[in-house]
């Protein structure tokens, strides 16, 4: 039993070594570093920009109230969900600020994160479907060629980075569907989307 465990341990270490060599040769580590720096710079610029906007240009709370007051929460959440399915058209940070003004901000934040995550999963199955339509597949492959290359090279790492960092989550999920990336893995790695919303909320909720 002990001998078998030792063999399995060596086999695991060997596999990890092979993965390390592959990821190093294909440029994963510079990719991770670049997007981590972008993420940190993005949060910093967002916070500084909102502070400056709030102090010198317009009261952000009043602007958000004016922007969203004409719509019900259901309408706003529906629009947000559609945006998260259709290529992430609207920055989710806007909705995070909106959630911060609610009576139960973290409950609303959790709902936003769930809808964003669900939007990515729906985008995956849209990708599975349109992958069968030659003309549409050709257009999507041309438009998001870099996403196809990333998914094929690094799979789950790309899903995690799209969930956490400024890499469009919905297009990555749609691309994953088109290349038939395993859905259980996508669903698992995509859960990091919840962490992204919480991290941004910690910065934005304390501002307003």
Residues 6+ away with beta carbon under 8 Å from 77: 111, 112, 115
| pTM for the model | 0.77
* Beta strand segments in the chain, E: none
Which residues of the chain fall below pLDDT 50? 2, 7
The predicted pLDDT at position 134 comes to: 73
The predicted pLDDT at position 75 comes to: 93
117/194 Cα distance (integer angstroms): 8
Which pair of structure tokens corresponds to residue 188? 């698992």
Chain Cα centroid distance, residue 3 = 43
The predicted pLDDT at position 5 comes to: 54
121/117 Cα distance (integer angstroms): 6
Which pair of structure tokens corresponds to residue 116? 């964003």
The predicted pLDDT at position 7 comes to: 47
Measuring CA to CA, which residue among 110, 112, 72, 106 is closest to residue 91? 112
Q: Write out pLDDT tens, residues 22-71.
A: 888 888 888 888 878 887 887 788 778 878 877 777 776 777 777 777 88
The predicted pLDDT at position 6 comes to: 56
Residues 6+ away with beta carbon under 8 Å from 80: 90, 92, 95, 112, 115, 116
Q: Counting Cβ atoms within 10 Å, is residue 128 exposed (0-12), middle (13-18) or buried (19+)?
A: middle
Q: Is the distance from CB of 26 to CB of 154 less than 8 angstroms?
A: yes
Tokens 């510079």 sit on residue: 30
The predicted pLDDT at position 66 comes to: 74
């Amino acid at each position: 039993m002990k001998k078998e465990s030792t063999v399995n341990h060596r086999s695991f270490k060997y596999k990890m070594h092979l993965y390390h060599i592959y990821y190093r040769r294909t440029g994963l580590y510079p990719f991770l570093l670049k997007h981590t720096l972008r993420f940190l710079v993005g949060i910093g610029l967002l916070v500084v920009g909102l502070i400056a906007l709030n102090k010198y240009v317009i009261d952000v709370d009043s602007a958000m109230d004016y922007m969203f007051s004409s719509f019900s929460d259901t309408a706003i959440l529906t629009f947000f969900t559609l945006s998260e399915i259709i290529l992430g058209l609207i920055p989710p940070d806007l909705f995070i600020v909106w959630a911060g003004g609610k009576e139960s901000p973290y409950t609303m934040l959790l709902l936003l994160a769930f809808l964003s995550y669900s939007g990515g999963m729906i985008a995956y199955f849209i990708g599975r479907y349109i992958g069968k339509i030659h003309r549409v597949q050709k257009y999507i492959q041309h438009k998001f060629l870099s996403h196809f290359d990333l998914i094929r090279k690094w799979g789950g790492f790309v899903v995690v980075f799209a969930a956490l960092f400024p890499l469009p989550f919905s297009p990555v999920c749609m691309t994953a569907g088109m290349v038939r990336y395993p859905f259980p893995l996508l669903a698992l790695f995509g859960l990091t989307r919840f962490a992204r919303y919480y991290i941004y909320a910690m910065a934005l909720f304390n501002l307003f």
